[in-house]
């Protein structure tokens, strides 16, 4: 069986299997190399630092999923590269959970709760959570993307290439007509006769005076008239001596003039 013989659902199953395998490989890979470690103390100082020339001190904050008792946050910090000249530099913060803002400061469950509390006093602070790095997100994205590409896009491209003459066409499927039973011919009904016609039976309304039930009376059917094969024109009476009549009237036609010899004795007028 060649590639052109595979159905679309075959490709979907193949894409699903490939997506699951790639998802397992991606989930087992370690985290990519992190940028410079900013440290919790310097990170807390940058959280409360005001904007410089309309530029926020921290941007592109991304909270990664926790791994065991640790969590990583990445982003960019506004640093002074030259006197009165600033630029953003990538950084990362690795901390143990629960998160401690300082030695004697409050404790937070994770980076989400810490940044949520900081955003109340600093409205310009924004952050995201990297849900696509969670195990569920990895399996959903990788499996769905590979299944769509292999089971949806690739069969369409393959059909276009085959239609353009770059491959063998699909073998024609033979249609099995033997699964359809031939219709039985309808039985012709016999003409009604005196033997096969059930005649109605008439009953008297009740018992007779002697207490005996009346005998059923069979109503015989009237004989069927034989149709004549004489042409219809011969059955219509013709009046060769009928004169021409004149008709008139404002709303409906009436006889205005009739010859004398066509008037009957009952209708002299």
Range of the domain at 81: 40-132
**Structure tokens belonging to residue 81:** 């590269």
Does one domain contain both 120 and 148? Answer: no
Q: What is the pLDDT of residues 145-195, one digit of tens each?
A: 999 999 999 989 988 888 888 767 665 566 566 666 666 665 555 565 555
Q: Do 45 and 112 fall into the same domain?
A: yes
Residues 157 and 111 in one domain: no
Could you tell me if residue 32 is left (phi over 0), alpha (psi between -120 and 50 degrees) or otherwise beta?
beta
Whether residue 183 is contained in a domain is answered as no
* Angle (nearest 5°) at CA 167 between 162 and 168: 95
Looking at the structure, tell me whether residues 103 and 145 fall in a common domain: no
Domain assignment present for residue 45? The answer is yes
pLDDT on residue 181: 66
Token reading at 93: 């913060």
Q: Are residues 51 and 82 in the same domain?
A: yes
- pLDDT tens digits, residue range 191-212? 655 555 555 555 445 555 555 5
Tens-place pLDDT, residues 130-148? 999 999 999 999 999 999 9
Instruction: Indicate left, alpha or beta for 231 from its phi (over 0: left) and psi (-120 to 50: alpha).
Output: beta
Q: Are 48 and 118 in a shared domain?
A: yes
Query: Are 55 and 10 part of one and the same domain?
Result: no
User: Is residue 81 included in any domain, yes or no?
Assistant: yes
- Is 171 contained in some domain? no
Is residue 176, in this structure, part of any structural domain at all? no
Rounded Cα gap, residues 123 and 103, in angstroms: 26
Instruction: Please indicate, yes or no, if residue 259 is contained in any of the structural domains.
Output: no
Domain assignment present for 66: yes
Could you give the number of structural domains in the chain? 2
Other CB atoms within 10 A of residue 150 CB:
19
Is 74 found in the same domain as 52? Answer: yes
**What is the pLDDT at residue 264?**
52
Neighbours of 93 (CB within 10 A): 22
* Whether residues 22 and 91 fall in one domain: no
Query: Judging by DSSP bridges, how do beta strands 127-129 and 58-63 pair with one another?
Result: parallel
Higher pLDDT, 35 or 194: 35
Question: Does residue 115 lie in a domain region?
Answer: yes
């Amino acid at each position: 069986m060649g590639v052109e013989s595979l159905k679309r659902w075959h490709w979907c199953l193949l894409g699903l299997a490939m997506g699951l395998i790639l998802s397992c490989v991606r989930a087992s890979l370690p985290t990519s190399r992190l940028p410079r470690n900013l440290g919790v103390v310097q990170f807390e100082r940058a959280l409360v630092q005001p904007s410089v020339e309309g530029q926020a001190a921290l941007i592109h904050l991304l909270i990664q999923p926790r791994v065991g008792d640790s969590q990583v946050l990445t982003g960019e910090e506004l640093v002074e590269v030259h006197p009165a000249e600033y630029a953003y530099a990538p950084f990362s913060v690795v901390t143990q959970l629960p998160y401690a803002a300082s030695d004697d400061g409050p404790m937070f469950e994770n980076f989400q709760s810490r940044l949520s509390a900081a955003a109340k006093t600093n409205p310009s602070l924004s952050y995201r959570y990297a849900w696509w790095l969670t195990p569920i997100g990895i399996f959903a994205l990788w499996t769905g993307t590979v299944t769509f590409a292999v089971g949806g896009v690739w069969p369409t491209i393959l059909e276009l290439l085959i239609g353009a003459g770059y491959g063998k066409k699909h073998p024609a499927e033979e249609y099995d007509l033997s699964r359809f039973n031939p219709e039985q011919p309808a039985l012709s009904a016999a003409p009604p006769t005196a033997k096969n016609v059930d005649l109605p039976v008439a009953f008297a309304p009740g018992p007779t005076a002697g207490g005996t039930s009346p005998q059923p009376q069979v109503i015989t059917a009237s004989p069927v008239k034989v149709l004549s094969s004489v042409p219809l024109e011969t059955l219509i009476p013709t009046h060769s001596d009928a004169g021409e009549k004149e008709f008139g009237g404002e709303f409906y036609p009436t006889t205005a003039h009739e010859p004398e010899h066509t008037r009957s004795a009952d209708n002299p007028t």
